[in-house]
Structure 1
Amino acid sequence: MGTGHYFWAIFYFASLCSASLANNAKINFREKEKKVLDQILGAGKYDARIRPSGINGTENAPTLVYVNMFLRSISKIDDYKMEYSVQLTFREQWTDERLKFDDIQGRLKYLTLTEANRVWMPDLFFSNEKEGHFHNIIMPNVYIRIFPNGSVLYSIRISLTLACPMNLKLYPLDRQICSLRMASYGWTTNDLVFLWKEGDPVQVVKNLHLPRFTLEKFLTDYCNSKTNTGEYSCLKVDLLFKREFSYYLIQIYIPCCMLVIVSWVSFWLDQGAVPARVSLGVTTLLTMATQTSGINASLPPVSYTKAIDVWTGVCLTFVFGALLEFALVNYASRSDRAADIHKENMKKKRRDLEQASLDAASDLLDTDSNATFAMKPLVRHPGDPMALEKLRQCEVHMQPPKRPNCCKTWLSKFPTRQCSRSKRIDVISRITFPLVFALFNLVYWSTYLFREEEDETF
């Protein structure tokens, strides 16, 4: 029993000693890290205002800064303001020979700072930025890592609203290229050069969801600019967004087609149903105008014609044409009624004249009652109605047969009373309007879908 107690006491004492030594080692390691920081960043030892030297410590060579980023999200793409918002983790890496330190045989991999003003920083800015802010919850989302060889890594999370000039000629069948541009503000290319980091410099979060858009691809490039004060290094990322057409098909194109088709119902209503035809035409016209104004309210007032303008303009023209068609039908109907009244009056006058001539002939026969014989003429007078009728029938039989006309044959199926000009206008409109609208759809979709492929110059 005594031996066991001694054994556990020795084991417990050894454990305490080892824990104490480990804690002392950690304390010593942190103290060494503090000494390294004081050694390289102490007062009078490092000046953050002076830029690092170039490659291999060359004083006249420019400082090379390698850039890469991680796109976390793209929240919106605004067509009216022509801008888009993005949240990204932005990283810069360069070498500062003054920040080299001893890594304590590989135990000290890097030093971490949270204050960017302790070391020299490139004066990079986003040239097409409208608004932007850093993230400070819970702590500022920024860090600086200093490696033993003097390499400095700067990482920060920022949110930006960037300008994106758009060409809306093919809207909503368009593709838009939005750029993210980064440049040096004060250092020229003789002093500072930005380069894309080799091997996938731009990364995008998986399952990126955008409202009404799809990110097809992106491309990194350089965009150095020359001004009166010198040439400045510049980097850019071009993002190609394709607009999702299904939303516009459901919200714009199908409702417009339905309004145009509803306006054609007027052609099948009776000509005497004036209130029904007028209310139908005016209602569809006002609805189409409201739809058009709602579409234009969400778009900037550009000087060129967009694809959606062509569609809504033609649909509005078809609806307005259906209303004008009823006005023409109403006018033709009144003209037909006036012509019918005129014909009835002429027939009545002709019958009165014939009756008067018969009465005169009867009176003449009564006065010549003493005559012994009244001979019938063998040849009728040229003005005799019966002779004219027989002559007309002979001319009809002598004419050669005409080739049948399909349209006239189809129109002749309607009763004679309905084959007036007003009725024929309605019948022709029932065929003409759908055919012309179908032809317009064929030309519209073939033109803009092919132009969409041809104008892709990414």
Structure 2
Amino acid sequence: MTNYWTTLKIWLSIVSLFLLFIQLRVSGKGTANFRAIEKRILDSIIGDGRYDSRIRPSGVNASQGQDGPALVSINIYVRSISSIDDVTMEYSCQVTFREQWNDNRLQFDDMQGKIQYLVLTDPNRIWKPDLFFSNEKKGHFHEIIMPNVLLRIYPNGNVLFSIRISLVLSCPMDLKYYPLDRQTCSIQMASYGYTTDDLVFMWKEGDPVQVTKSLNLPRFTLQKYLTNYCTSRTNTGEYSCLKVDLLFKREFSYYLIQIYIPCAMLIFVSWVSFWLDPNATVARVSLGVTTLLSMATQISGINASQPPVSYTKAIDVWTGVCLTFVFGALLEFALVNYASRSDVHQAAAKQQQQVAQRQAKWNIEHSTMEAGGNGDETTYGLRGDGYRSCEIHAKPNKRKNWCKRWLSKFPTRSKRIDVISRIFFPFMFALFNLVYWTTYLFRDDLHMPLK
């Protein structure tokens, strides 16, 4: 019984292998027949002497005997944006560019739906639109390992052409609000030789532009992208044109950490001299000159990474005012030093005057004593004269305001200048910050709705 079942299993295995061999032969023959059908179709539509790639396809209303322009639908997939350069005003991107049009000369029988489309490995065999990127600076195709080109021909004559390209495009920028600005960079596509009478580009319905979700820019954020038409007229005619506007917002956190906060800290350091002794000349001069040179070096580094433009940028306003505050702190010490020397001279002159007054009073009293008479009467007479003199020359005491009372606590002018500077400089810097950030953060164009 065991031998019977073993023999049966062996025969079943042999039959299964035989059936599988027959199926593979039949499928291989079917595949070979399918490839032969594709070859025959391609030979019938683009074989030698059957198709002329120099002639554009018939346009709209061709069936009515009126040959209009050929319509080409455009679709773009932005794969990456590598860099946006403020100095050269350009940006680099990699896109998958797709065109779709109808060429009735490429129609074929789909064998009752068995053939969905044909793939053509040599795109130069058929006619293609003469599109070019009008704001291109550099560009190249990708040919590793094979040329990244796709061309499909559908039974109704529709043609899909897709290619991956890398571009360096110009992007004119307005840097008045730098680094609190938004920039609009475009991708402009137009026909080079065919006018709108022969060729018209239009955006594909639905979703004409796609952007990869993994897009990551170090200093910008892509806020919006808009499609538009930019048909242009020249001396040779009117040419169809399409445009994609990419709206970028500059990331401010980098500039806040690298520029704004260091400049503010240099200003705060320059104010330390207001708390130093007015006679500490070496310390105050060293502090003022050091902060001034540091501020100048900071501004030089900032300007080296920016394009030379003829107008004032927001960052120029900030650095210019910060440099003015540091320079003002240095000039304040010069004024304090001058006032300190004047205080010394005034103190010496006042001391001499007091000595002279005491000497004169002693002389008067001594001469009166020598003149004789009742000492009490003489003293009384002097007191009476003095009393009458006070009645004639004394002025009523006016109550001082709080500012004068506060300043009277500091006897020297140099000290008063330092104390006033401790309040005046921070107040003016806070006022400047209020005006600066209100002007640039709450301007109208920054909060306009994106269309």
What is residue 261 of structure 1 aligned with on the other side?
Answer: 268
Q: Distance in 1 between matches of 2:384 and 2:342?
A: 32
CA contact (8 A) 2:142 2:164 kept: yes
* Shift in Å, 1:355: 5.5
C-alpha separation in 1, matches of 2:439 and 2:12 = 93
Counterpart pick for 2:396 among 376, 396, 399: 399
Query: Do 2:60 and 2:67's aligned partners in 1 also have CA atoms closer than 8 Å?
Result: no
CA–CA separation in structure 2 for the residues paired with 1:121 and 1:385: 120
Q: Deviations over 1:357-399 (max 9, x none)?
A: 667677x65xxxxxxx7366968899x7994587448865x72
Partner residue, 2:21: 16
Matched, 1:308 2:300: no
Amino acid paired to 2:433:
N
Alignment RMSD (CA, Å): 2.6
Higher mean alpha-carbon deviation, 284-293 vs 426-435, is at 284-293
- 1:55 aligns to what SS in structure 2? coil
Residue of 48, 56, 68 corresponding to 1:51: 56
Q: CA deviation at 1:451?
A: 1.3
Correspondences of 1:142-153 after superposition (within 5 Å)? 142-153=149-160
Residues 1:104 and 2:100 aligned together: no
Evaluate the alpha carbon distance shift between residue 257 and residue 11 of structure 1 in structure 2; reply closer, same or farther with a 3 A threshold. closer
Contact 1:170 1:452 in 2 (8 A): no
Pick from 403, 412, 422 the counterpart of residue 414 of structure 2: 422
Contact preservation (8 Å) 1:220, 1:237 = yes
Query: Following superposition of structure 1 onto structure 2, how do residues 41-440 of structure 1 map, counting pairs within 5 Å?
Result: 41-57=46-62, 60-353=67-360, 374=373, 387-388=385-386, 391-392=389-390, 399=396, 401-402=398-399, 404-414=400-410, 419-440=411-432
C-alpha distance in 1 between matches for 2:378 and 2:304: 84
CA contact (8 A) 1:68 1:90 kept: yes
Q: Deviations over 1:243-274 (max 9, x none)?
A: 11111111111111111111110000001111
Per the alignment, in what secondary structure is the counterpart of residue 227 of structure 2?
A: strand
Amino acid at match of 1:323: L
Distance 1:154 1:401, change over 3 A: same
Question: How many Å separate the matches in 2 of 1:360 and 1:390?
Answer: 21
Distance 2:363 2:238 in 1: 110
> 1:115–1:143: 8 Å Cα contact kept in structure 2?
no
Deviation (angstroms), 1:39 = 1.3
* Deviations 1:214-241 (CA, angstroms, capped at 9, x unpaired): 1111110000000010000000001111
1:34 Cα deviation (Å)? 1.1
Q: Does 1:35 align with 2:32?
A: no
Q: How many residues align?
A: 443
Counterpart-to-counterpart distance in 1, 2:223 and 2:202? 24
Give ranges in structure 1 of 5+ residues lacking alignment: 366-372
Contact 2:79/2:211 (8 A) holds in 1: yes
Q: Are 1:94 and 1:151, in contact at CA under 8 Å, matched by a contact in 2? A: yes
With over 3 angstroms needed to count, the CA separation of the structure-2 counterparts of 1:151 and 1:436, relative to structure 1, is same
Quick one: structure 1 residues 64 and 442, their matched pair in 2 at CA, closer, same or farther if it must change by over 3 Å?
same
In structure 1, distance between residues paired with 2:8 and 2:429: 106
User: Residue 74 of structure 1: CA displacement?
Assistant: 0.8
Describe the shift of the 1:267–1:122 C-alpha distance in structure 2 as closer, same or farther (beyond 3 A).
same
Paired residue secondary structure (1:451)? coil
Equivalent position amino acid for 1:210 in 2: L
Contact residue 295 and residue 323 of structure 2 kept, 8 A = yes
More divergent stretch after superposition (290-299 vs 12-21): 12-21
Q: Which amino acid aligns with 2:436?
A: Y
The answer as to whether partners of 2:61 and 2:67 remain within 8 angstroms in 1 is: no
Given the superposition, is the C-alpha separation of residues 336 and 413 from structure 1 closer, same or farther in structure 2, using an over 3 Å criterion? closer
TM-fit CA distance, 1:169: 0.8
TM-score (norm 2): 0.91
Distance (whole Å) between structure 2 residues aligned to residue 13 and residue 307 of structure 1: 83
Tell me the CA shift for residue 104 of structure 1: 1.7
Larger deviation, residues 284-293 vs 341-350: 341-350
Counterpart AA for 1:374? G
**Are residues 265 and 37 of structure 1, via their aligned partners in 2, closer, same or farther at CA, if it must alter by over 3 Å?**
same
